[in-house]
């Protein structure tokens, strides 16, 4: 989907400077210094407009959240939302997931959230899926042993692909559901996409993958 260019994007990002990490590589192994505490670090890969990450920030003040999004015209909306909600425990990086090992040290991350990632529907595009082996290998470089990847999607084929991918990479799967909103799972924070899909009556697929 083509992203519409935001007016005055650079200026708006500058207005959110307190939450925007311009040079995340400089914080590798030092994120606790930036957050000024030693709380666990959770990452959302592809934060979109920020509904999920700001909701999680409010619910879990003792967790440090890092939201990444490759498109600045998208992440600026998420940052503005976090500023409006006065979120104290979330930072934003305009980067790709491919460089996570360059900005986080071994065992520095406790959890990664993958919410409604692009399914890249063509088989030749499989390597671009955020649950492909290539990305899982990167996540394992920064996740603590016993840490988790929490994954949600509305795309059944991507969910099937991801189940196989996680298993092949020796993650232990837990809390698998093919209909999240009728599963009894408590504490779910919805993304903007999830709200839209749920209103249309589409089932949401979810799993937790433990790095063992």
Instruction: Output the domain CATH number for residue 68.
Output: 3.40.50.150
Share of the chain above pLDDT 70, in %: 97
The verdict on residue 125 lying in a domain is yes
Sequence-separated (6 or more) residues with CB below 8 Å from residue 33? 27
The tens digit of pLDDT for each residue in 18-67 reads 999 999 999 999 999 999 999 999 999 999 999 999 999 999 999 999 99
Decide if 45 contacts 118 (C-beta within 8 A).
Answer: no
* Entry pTM: 0.94
As a dihedral over the C-alpha atoms of residue 137, residue 26, residue 70, residue 129, rounded to 10 degrees, the angle is: 0
The verdict on residue 162 lying in a domain is yes
The verdict on residue 13 lying in a domain is no
Domain of residue 45 covers: 35-211
Whether 6 has a pLDDT exceeding 80, the answer reads no
Q: Please give the pLDDT value at position 16.
A: 94
Beta strands in the chain (DSSP E): 41-45, 64-68, 90-93, 109-115, 143-153, 171-177, 205-211
**118 classed as catalytic:** yes
Instruction: Please tell me which residue in 102, 118, 137, 170 is annotated as part of the active site.
Output: 118
The verdict on residue 6 lying in a domain is no
The verdict on residue 176 lying in a domain is yes
The verdict on residue 22 lying in a domain is no
Count up the domains in the chain and report the number. 1
The verdict on residue 50 lying in a domain is yes
Average pLDDT over residues 128-151: 98
Average pLDDT over residues 116-132: 95
What is the Cα–Cα distance from 5 to 3, expressed in whole angstroms?
Answer: 6
């Amino acid at each position: 989907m083509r992203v519409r260019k935001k007016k005055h994007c650079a200026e708006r990002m500058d207005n959110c400077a307190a939450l925007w990490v311009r040079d995340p590589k400089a914080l590798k192994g030092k994120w606790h210094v930036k957050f000024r505490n030693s709380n666990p670090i959770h990452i959302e890969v592809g934060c979109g407009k920020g509904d999920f990450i700001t909701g999680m920030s409010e619910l879990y003040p003792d967790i440090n959240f890092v939201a990444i999004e490759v498109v600045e015209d998208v992440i600026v909306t998420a940052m503005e939302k976090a500023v409006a909600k006065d979120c104290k425990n979330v930072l934003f990086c305009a980067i790709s997931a491919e460089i996570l090992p360059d900005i986080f040290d071994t065992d520095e991350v406790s959890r990664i959230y993958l919410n409604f990632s692009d399914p890249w529907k063509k088989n030749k595009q499989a390597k671009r899926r955020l649950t492909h082996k290539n990305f899982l290998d990167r996540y394992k470089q920064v996740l603590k042993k016993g840490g988790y990847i929490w994954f949600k999607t509305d795309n059944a084929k991507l969910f099937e692909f991801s189940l196989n991918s996680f298993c092949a990479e020796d993650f232990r799967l837990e809390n698998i559901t093919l209909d999240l909103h009728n599963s009894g799972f408590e504490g779910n924070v919805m993304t903007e996409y999830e709200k839209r899909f749920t209103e249309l009556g589409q089932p949401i697929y979810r799993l937790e993958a433990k790095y063992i």
